[in-house]
């Protein structure tokens, strides 16, 4: 059952291992359990839902229930892996995630954004928490027909510790996934902003902008709303107006030329947009803030005397 289905808050660990595998190849398969694979040394290939991921040291993948996946470790390239599988149930067990979701904002955000899988870097202590949990699970774990039977074989203290270690592991997983999403989102946002900066004088279409960033336009808009506190269109207008202000203050271009060099196709559109944003017309802004562009330095002639001091002589007076 899915980790993101609030109707299944109870957890039971069904399998785990910490192995150094010299080579390994499994058939593509799926199961009703969630799974975490974490690389502590070497590298491996993971195929999940048709996508290929090469995991290296301190990288992991989380697989939700029923995701088709496959692990492959080429011969001669050993890989050390931590692995944990768990089921999400409706019937009561010793581990219940409801309280964790109520107490932890990070875990609550994590389970509120469903995904079939997450692959990324360990940006915290996920590896340590997973290793500690697996080590504790190994304690007094019986074997039954060569399959680990994890129910009712731990003391109350062991069950308590396993529950706490599982919570810790889920918190670390949540942090890694949220950090990855944030960093990836900022990368997409930077690509979009760089594109806007280099195409200010051209027509910028949002679908083309999103395609350049590598995401859909809805997600790109959500990034601008979240991190820039504005729409994409508002951001483009703001950057064009900032550029126009620079030209008004630092150049002698006509208002029409300033409009065209700021990405506006008419002086009228530029003027109305500028006045709406700054509360003053472009011409009035220039008169208020513009620098004196007169190239003349006055009627005096300046030269450096032999003693290193400046001397000025009126141009009408011969030297």
**Domains of the chain from N-terminus onward:** 10-180 (2.60.120.280), 199-319 (1.10.10.60)
pLDDT digit string (tens) for 20-55?
Answer: 999 998 889 999 999 999 999 999 999 988 788 889
What is the pLDDT confidence band of residue 186, given thresholds at 50, 70 and 90?
Answer: confident
pLDDT digit string (tens) for 220-238?
Answer: 998 898 878 889 999 999 9
Asked if residue 262 has pLDDT above 50, the reply is yes
Helix-strand-coil percent breakdown of the chain, rounded to 5?
40, 25, 35
Q: What is the pTM of this model?
A: 0.62
Mean pLDDT of 246-270: 92
Asked if residue 267 has pLDDT above 50, the reply is yes
pLDDT digit string (tens) for 100-142?
Answer: 999 999 999 999 888 888 988 898 999 999 999 999 998 866 5
- Average pLDDT taken over every residue of the chain: 86
Is the distance from CB of 46 to CB of 70 less than 8 angstroms? yes
- Separation CA 138–CA 101 (nearest Å): 27
Q: Which two tokens stand for residue 306?
A: 């032999």
Does residue 208 or residue 291 have the better pLDDT? Answer: 208
The strand pairing partners of 42, in sequence order, are: 79
Mean pLDDT of 294-303: 50
Does residue 147 or residue 201 have the better pLDDT? Answer: 201
Asked if residue 280 has pLDDT above 70, the reply is yes
Mean pLDDT of 52-68: 92
CA 313 vs. chain centroid, Å, equals 64
């Amino acid at each position: 059952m899915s980790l993101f289905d609030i109707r299944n808050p109870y957890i039971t660990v069904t399998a785990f291992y910490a192995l150094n595998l010299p080579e390994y190849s499994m058939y593509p398969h799926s199961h009703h359990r969630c799974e975490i694979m974490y690389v502590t040394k070497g590298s491996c290939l993971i195929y999940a839902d048709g996508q290929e991921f090469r995991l290296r040291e301190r990288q992991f993948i989380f697989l939700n229930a029923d995701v088709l996946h496959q692990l492959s470790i080429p011969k001669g390239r050993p890989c050390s892996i931590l692995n944990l599988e768990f089921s999400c149930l409706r019937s009561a067990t010793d581990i219940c995630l409801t309280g964790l979701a109520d107490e932890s904002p990070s875990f609550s955000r994590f389970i509120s954004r469903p995904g079939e899988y997450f692959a990324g870097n360990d940006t915290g202590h996920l590896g340590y928490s997973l290793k500690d949990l697996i080590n504790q699970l190994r304690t007094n774990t019986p074997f039954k027909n060569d399959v680990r039977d994890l129910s009712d074989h731990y003391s109350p203290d062991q069950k308590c510790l396993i529950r706490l270690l599982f919570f810790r592991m889920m918190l670390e997983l949540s942090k890694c996934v949220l950090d990855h999403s944030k960093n990836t989102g900022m990368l997409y946002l930077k690509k979009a902003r760089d594109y806007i900066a280099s195409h200010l004088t051209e027509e910028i279409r949002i679908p083309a902008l999103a395609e350049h960033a590598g995401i859909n336009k809805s997600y790109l808009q959500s990034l601008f709303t979240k991190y820039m506190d504005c729409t994409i269109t508002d951001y483009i207008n703001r950057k064009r107006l900032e550029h126009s202000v620079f030209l008004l203050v630092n150049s002698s271009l006509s208002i029409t030329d300033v409009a065209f060099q700021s990405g506006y196709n008419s002086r009228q559109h530029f003027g109305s947009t500028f006045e709406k944003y700054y509360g003053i017309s472009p011409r009035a802004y220039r008169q208020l803030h513009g620098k004196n562009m007169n190239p003349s330095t006055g009627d005096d002639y300046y030269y450096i005397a032999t003693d290193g001091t400046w001397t000025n002589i009126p141009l009408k007076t011969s030297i």
